[in-house]
Amino acid sequence: MCGIVGYIGARQAAPILLDGLKKLEYRGYDSAGVAVLNEGAITVKKTKGRLKNLSDMIDGGHKIPGTIGIGHTRWATHGEPSDINSHPHTSESGKIAVVHNGIIENYMKIKEFLTAKGYTFVSETDTEVIAHLADYYYNGNLLETVVKIINKLEGSYALGLISSDHPDQMIAVRKDSPLIIGLGEAENFIASDIPAILKYTRSVYLIEDNEIALLTPNGVTLYNTDLDEISKEVFSVDWDIAAAEKGGYEHFMFKEIMEEPQSVLNTIGPVLRDGLLKLDKVPGRISIVACGSAYHVGIVGKYVIEALTRIPVEVDIASEYRYRNPIITEDTLVVVISQSGETADTIAALREAKKQGAKIFGIVNVVGSSIARESDEVLYTLAGPEIAVATTKAYSTQLTAVYLLALSLKKAMGELSAEEEKYYAEELLRLPDLISAMIEQKDKIQYYASRYFNAKSVFFIGRGLDYALSLEGSLKLKEISYIHSEAYGAGELKHGTISLIEEGTLVIAVATQEKLFEKIVSNIREVKARGAVVLAIATEGCELIEECADGVLYIPKTDPLFTSSPAVTLLQLFAYYVASLKGCDIDKPRNLAKSVTVE
């Protein structure tokens, strides 16, 4: 979604802003802009389209001198992508410029109020009300002005604000939208995400809701909304800038798939070394809440946790959960899964569950993110920064996190014998090698992608855990290749959707579950009889499937509960090669954003 970068110091701001915005491109955007303050005046340059357009317009930043500035990449919500709707927005006097991530829910009301006071609006955005409010409330003190503004706002925001009356100040504040402050030597930064400023500093403040930062070149002071000074620990980023760069690969997505074996090892290693997670209480029920791919991990989690522990698990899409009046009993554990830890719907679901007294167990990749901070317990997936919009290594590590949670629950129940613990630990520790074995098969996967990349519509079918995996395989394919795709429980297809199967329709049948093998073979025959072309994903040793499928890709043998791990890498690579053959923008698919920070 939208990205924010701000700089205050002694260097020229605009090139730093462009560089930071470039690092945030992966989040998805449709326009970009900067505002730079120099000799008592703010210059704003903004344009629709790629960052390169903006960079060309200002000659890489050199056309607009100044050592304090704010920049923004916009992902349109209120008003189409256009030059005028791009950020920064300025007050009518041009003295205050603001960048904003999030949505101001009561902007219509504020707009009416300000219009009645004589303010004129030039854009269709919600953000412009903030710039005019700044002018309306301005009393010579920027901090006090910002407090008055945020008292008026409903919704979510991360804000960066500068004023030509205060050439040595920048203000930043957030509510329900990520924001960090980077601490440098005689220079400071604001950003919506760490990669934007990692080149300049590893020391950051992770700003929380309603904390206000006043930045000068020489320091950062934090305040609450009563303008009392507050203190905060400096967070030291422990990953390298190389982790957020392509490192010679053509796409982040491919690089991140290649990193899966190591990411999985990093995630399971420490937990297995410590003898699984120490859970203080065994829940009577589990509710898993997440969005998109993380939700699909939740469905895998349901199968695995129920199979191992017999604790009932329900899985909800976060955006539905909060509005369906969920039943949360005293012994319910709510498991929240999120790569970014900043997905607005997931945060809202977490808060709803917390309000009703649930204990929250977070499975999160980004350290210090909102979901990590608001969970009672956190299991971090150690995938490192994930840049491609389509999640791959984070999904893989989330899978292993739910395996670890399931085993830890079983152990806490006193139902995991020492032998079983040893067996499962060994199986889990084999996963990085099994994933590597899938990567080694990439030429074969690419071959099948080249056979089928012209498909107009694809159906993924599977049973049990293979159904859960089909959901992810289908999402991966559609989000990056734009091929229409659906996933069905293989037995469900005949209840309606089979009418869409015709001569040449591609069906990808996931058949890794031995005990359901005969069943899925029957389902393959059903679609074959109606003209489908079938690519099957099966486990080595199940070569019988070759009799009914047109093509087969094999995963190595593992415990049936863990087959999703190698199999998802295969499906990710398949989607990647299809999208690549179609010439799609793999890392930044149209209309999508890396982390969805608005409802």
Supply the residues annotated as catalytic.
2, 594
C-alpha triplet 503, 453, 484: angle, nearest 5°: 70
Residue 595 in the binding site for ligand AGP (CB under 6 A) = yes
Residue 348 in the binding site for ligand AGP (CB under 6 A) = no
Residue 579 in the binding site for ligand AGP (CB under 6 A) = no
Residue 370 in the binding site for ligand AGP (CB under 6 A) = no
* Residue from 169, 309, 343, 597 in contact with ligand AGP (CB under 6 A): 343
Task: Give the residue with the Cβ less far from ligand AGP, 94 or 368.
Answer: 368
Say how far apart CA 181 and CA 387 lie, in whole Å. 20
* Residue from 339, 408, 523, 597 in contact with ligand AGP (CB under 6 A): 339
Say how far apart CA 554 and CA 458 lie, in whole Å. 20
Output the CA–CA distances (angstroms, integers) from residue 187 to 39, 219, 223, in the order listed.
19, 8, 19
* DSSP H or E segment with residue 219: strand 219-223
Residues 281-300 that bind ligand AGP (CB under 6 A): 291-294
Residue 257 in the binding site for ligand AGP (CB under 6 A) = no
Residue 389 in the binding site for ligand AGP (CB under 6 A) = yes
Closest distance to ligand AGP from the beta carbon of 596 (Å): 5
Size of the site for ligand AGP (CB under 6 A): 15
> Which residues face 289 on adjacent strands?
316, 336
Region from 54-62, 334-342, 519-527, 574-582 binding ligand AGP, contact rule CB under 6 A: 334-342
Closest distance to ligand AGP from the beta carbon of 392 (Å): 8
Q: What DSSP assignment string belongs to 109-131?
A: HHHHHHHHTT----SS-STHHHH
x/- contact string, 459-498, with ligand AGP (CB under 6 A)?
--------------------x-------------------
Residue 333 in the binding site for ligand AGP (CB under 6 A) = no
* Residue from 38, 391, 441, 563 in contact with ligand AGP (CB under 6 A): 391
End-to-end CA distance of the chain: 12
* Residue from 146, 390, 506, 507 in contact with ligand AGP (CB under 6 A): 390
Closest distance to ligand AGP from the beta carbon of 385 (Å): 12
Q: Are strands 359-364 and 377-380 parallel, antiparallel or unpaired?
A: parallel
Closest distance to ligand AGP from the beta carbon of 291 (Å): 4
What radius of gyration do the chain's Cα atoms show? Answer: 25
Say how far apart CA 353 and CA 193 lie, in whole Å. 27
Output the CA–CA distances (angstroms, integers) from residue 563 to 267, 429, 468, in the order listed.
17, 13, 11
Task: Give the residue with the Cβ less far from ligand AGP, 164 or 400.
Answer: 400
Closest distance to ligand AGP from the beta carbon of 71 (Å): 23
Within 10 Å of residue 250's Cβ, how many Cβ atoms? 11
Say how far apart CA 591 and CA 99 lie, in whole Å. 21
Residue 266 in the binding site for ligand AGP (CB under 6 A) = no
Instruction: Give the burial class of 122: count Cβ atoms within 10 A of its Cβ; 0-12 exposed, 13-18 middle, 19 or more buried.
Output: exposed
Closest distance to ligand AGP from the beta carbon of 338 (Å): 3
- Interface contacts to ligand AGP, rule CB under 6 A: 291-294, 338-340, 343, 346, 389-391, 479, 595-596
